[in-house]
Structure 1
Amino acid sequence: MKLVVVSAGLSVPSSTRLLADRLAAATARHTPVDVQVVEVRELAVEIAHHLTNGFPGRALSAALDAVTGADGLIVVTPVFTASYSGLFKSFFDLIDPAALTGKPVLIAATGGTARHSLVLEHALRPLFAYLRAVVVPTAVYAASEDWGAPGLAERIDRAAAELAALMTGLTRSDAAIGSNAVTGREAGAGSAPDTADALRVVPFEEQLARLGAA
């Protein structure tokens, strides 16, 4: 499975990138994934050109394809003026509104104070709900005082487990649908594939329980 991490940090080194890397590593501990990181900072000029002339550069085009083709996303932004950064928003403004439909997304943010933690719920979650992505229940915010303090590692692991469960559940459903379709063809023209089980919606709690038992 392909996991794409979108990090919108502006500095080097970046606490935003550090949080993104920890979330990706935690997800990889729960399920095998190929991780690709998109550093939005490196695409700033191409994003500006695309917004003004309508044509993406080569690096930006590759990044957009990676995001839309991923099995799951981790998106992390620094907090500016009580919201996500303008560069972060500009990047996702370039993605077709239907391209993230049903895609599992873990949202996270970093900031200088814990007072900005609600940015996850009043800005990031509504953005990806509008894009019809499936946002995992646990969002992760890391203020300056959270690094090295109790609690952050547990939040990271819980959110990563939820993302892994969603990614694994969707992949298994796709495989089951494909398998049933083949079975139906092999059975002959008069037999229809049994897709009842393949199309069954697996409750999120059941997915987490299966992941924990694996």
Structure 2
Amino acid sequence: GLKGLPKDKPLFDQLEAYARRQSPDFFDLHALVTVRLWSILEAFVHDICCFLLEKVPSVRQQPGVAKLKAPIIEFLDSDSQEQADHLYELLDSSCSAALKPGAGRFEAVLSLLGYGGPVNKQVSDALFYCSKLRNCITHNDGIVDRQLVKACPWWKGTEGTRVGITAVMSQKHLYAACWYMMEVQRRILPSDFERMDQLVEEQQSYIESIEKGGAPGQFPFA
């Protein structure tokens, strides 16, 4: 712990003050989990979309892809992976995906590729809250603002206080992220995939886990 550190070391006082502020519920740790989960989702959907753009010819014939415009010479000089990545960035920009909250951020691009679909409401809600909390943490230094209070009416905190993410909340975010990644895979896999039933059963188990966590308003806050 901090007791073993020489007190003449730089930043010791700041570290000690920070440690005293930490809740036994490890709000800051769960905040990091939330941010990391969202980054994993973004990377997952990006890689899946790039794979489809590179390997599935029919995807490039989708109207949303066919109408994209890019510098021809630069595009032709790129290898297939670079082309797919460039097309993804153009698609992402064309539908303003980054401005959409929750799963909408990913569904916007997946729909243009022909792989959009419905998202379970509990998963959709959990990912919506995850995206809003993540934005608060990364863009507002974890300080609750009007946008967060408006987006999350069940929020018990007030503007200007530090966001508190509990273990229950981060677990919900994890279960929702797992369900969603499996859902994207399910859409892409052939209908006769031999483990499809097992995949769907596992998805259902994540829904049940989300339900056990209770409603958002039941989350405790500092």
Could you state the TM-score of these two structures normalised by the residue count of structure 2? 0.31
Larger radius of gyration: 2
By percentage of residues, which structure has more strand?
1
By percentage of residues, which structure has more helix?
2
